[in-house]
A and B are shown apart, each in its own frame.
Chain A
């Protein structure tokens, strides 16, 4: 167990869960189902982080929700709202820019001093 390493990884991953949720919930989904989807996509998240996060995003208007009572077990379904889609696009663009920026740190042949 390497504690500083884990902390840095945790810090880097913070915020990616929000983006992943907004992208996945372009199609409606519910708490536990989303938790499994996130894990399948490589965004391992704790249930006690995800459930309050969904409510917070709903409160901020990035998700809308609806109770589905058609099945035996009523579930609250969330869906990314138009503002949420806008946020998801912005965050995705930012993520791509960061990916490029990080790559330039190692690939860029021009030394930093010349800039």
Chain B
């Protein structure tokens, strides 16, 4: 049975580089023996003296780390800020994309609402967990390798007040809105928003699938593109506002034309609604007018908002 001292020395040296192990071992043996002799000379009990000497040296893992010049932390001050910055950036959009993707995938495969919500949330959490884990792992390795990140700091990095309408929240907002609208259209197509006799029925006209929906998706994508361009280019330009106006006009005329030709709303809906006496035919007309007005108002507001941001940016 090896003595406590032998076990202590084994525990300390085993994690050291091969070439220094024997030297550290021999030196530590002599140092411990010296300290032990000193205590024995003062009349201490041998077993208690050995314990006391080893207690003074402390945790062998900590001693080994000191010998090998290994850090006793996961991430030190040299890397912590870069780690936090990268993590914040990634966490600001990766989980959101994962949630959106999962929700879309589950909707297309015809999952239940609860399943979609639960599945999306757990996918988002898993994505966040992966981001945190892998980024941290990479930084821990970088710290142990002593890699120079080459990230100094200078005053140019201070956040500039951004021109109105070019904040990141605008990009995120229009992207979320776009995804929600496409999601709603897909839900309507595959599950149906109106329930009659336990069966779903689409609100939108069946002939809108797939080209009408695809066109809407393209318009929404362009809308997000404008927000991205304003964000990247630090502000709204006249050209962006013109493009935004054109998009708005296309959107407006498409909706109005489709509605006028009875191609927007599922015709079965009107039949079912009036035959079951749920709503009077007049009510359907009122609904149509409300739709027209709200499309008009929101589009006009969107166009005006673009020009307002241009003016606001020019005044700064």
**Per-position binary interface string of chain B over residues 206-234, scored 1 when its CB falls under 8 Å from any chain A CB and 0 otherwise:** 00000000000000000000000000000
Taking A47-B56, A47-B57, A76-B26 as contacts, is the C-beta distance between A52 and B63 under 8 angstroms? yes
Distance between Cα atoms of A46 and B30 in the complex (Å): 16
Q: Which of A13-54 contact B (CB under 8 A)?
A: 30-33, 46-49, 51-52
Considering only residues 66-83 of chain A, those with a C-beta below 8 Å from chain B are 67, 73-76
Interface residues in B, total, Cβ within 8 A: 20
Q: For the complex of A and B, list the 10 residue pairs with the smallest distance between their C-beta atoms, beginning with the closest.
A: A32-B34, A52-B66, A31-B31, A76-B27, A52-B67, A75-B30, A32-B31, A48-B58, A48-B57, A48-B63
Residue of A nearest to B35 (CB): A32
8 interchain pairs (CB within 8 A)? A30-B30, A32-B35, A48-B56, A51-B27, A74-B30, A75-B30, A75-B34, A76-B27
Do A48 and B66 touch across chains, with their CB atoms under 8 A apart?
yes
**Closest residue of chain A to B30, judged by CB?**
A75
Chain A residues within 8 Å of B63, by CB: 48, 51-52
The answer to whether A47 and B30 touch across the interface, beta carbons within 8 angstroms, is no
Known contacts A73-B30, A76-B30; 8 additional CB pairs below 8 A are: A31-B34, A32-B31, A33-B34, A48-B66, A52-B69, A74-B26, A74-B30, A76-B26
Return B59 CB to nearest CB of chain A, in Å.
9
Classify the secondary structure of A's interface with B: helix
For A73, the chain B residues whose CB sits under 8 A away are 30, 33-34
Q: Which secondary structure characterizes the binding site on chain B?
A: helix
Q: Which residues of B contact A75 (CB under 8 A)?
A: 27, 30, 34
Number of residues in A with C-beta < 8 Å to the partner?
17
> Which of A32, A47, A56 interacts with B69 by CB under 8 Å?
A56
Residues of B within 8 A of A74 (CB): 26, 30
Given known contacts A30-B30, A32-B31, is B66 in contact with A49 (CB within 8 Å)? yes
A55 and B27 alpha carbons, distance in the complex (Å): 11
Shortest Cβ distance from residue A39 to the other chain B in the assembled complex, whole angstroms: 12
Chain B window 1-43, contacts with chain A (Cβ cutoff 8 Å), 1 for yes, 0 for no? 0000000000000000000100110111011011100100000
Q: How far is the CA of A76 from the CA of B62 in the complex (A)?
A: 22
Residues of A contacting B57 with CB < 8 Å?
47-48
Q: How far is the CA of A51 from the CA of B16 in the complex (A)?
A: 14
Nearest-CB residue, chain A, relative to B57: A48
What are the residues of chain A within 8 A of B31 when measuring CB–CB? 30-32, 47, 51
B contact residues around A67 at 8 Å (CB): 26
Bound form: Cα–Cα A31–B27 in Å: 8
- Alpha-carbon gap, A1 to B20, bound state (A): 39
CA–CA, A60 and B309, complex, Å:
61
Closest CB in chain A relative to B5 CB, distance in Å: 14
